[in-house]
Structure 1
Amino acid sequence: MDVDRYEQGVRIRREVHGDEVVDAIHDATDAFSQPMQDLLNEYCWGTVWSRTGLDRRSRSILNIGMLAALNQPDALAGHMRSALNNGVSWTEIRECLLQVAVYVGMPAALAAFEVARKVRAETDALG
């Protein structure tokens, strides 16, 4: 394991998702799932998210489209929240999902719009 890359990944993950989310994931991690979290921290966050070719906002937009297309509602909800932290607006999230409707299909987009509706209600309630 590249310790510097791992630590950079944890830092970026915290900046994107927030301490509360990362702490909850850490608390739910057991010996069986720890290697997956290590992989995420080192490679996903430390190697890819640290690259300079795309800014975090662009990576968030890309993730929304991919997760909607893959019908991954839990991950999509989390990345929608993170996208808001990265400067993506609800208008831009809606436009991403309309793009999904055209290129992936209506069922995927409808499901993603439902996720967005719930996340928006949660975030609006928080103020």
Structure 2
Amino acid sequence: MTKNVLAVDDSTSIRQMVCVTLTSAGYTVVEAADGCDGLEQANERVFDLVLTDLNMPRMDGLGLVRALRELPAYRQVPILMLTTESSDEMKSQGRAAGATGWMVKPFDPLKLIEVVRKVIG
């Protein structure tokens, strides 16, 4: 069964890179332009994994993580932050919000596939 990934980022080029990378590895990817759009997508269906940027308009990544964790269907779904932020303080805030892991952009496509496979198979 194909695993479904929600990629949330306000950068079209990053979303496209994530989509091409994960689609080539056999995943189905749905894109969202910001946290509000991502939350709408997540309310329409349950994804196996959510990848989200941190800094976005309307709703940032931490807000999205918190909102998803309030939904019963997303209490156990892995959520990975994919962001340029790399400070320990931000990583700590991500963990406190409920993020499962943290990857720094720019990302290595092979590393992204490796992490996704570890998290959801």
**Greater helix proportion:** 1
Specify the structure having the higher radius of gyration (Cα).
1
| TM-score interval (norm. to shorter) | 0.3 to 0.5
TM-score (norm 1): 0.36
TM-score (norm 2): 0.37
**Greater strand proportion:** 2
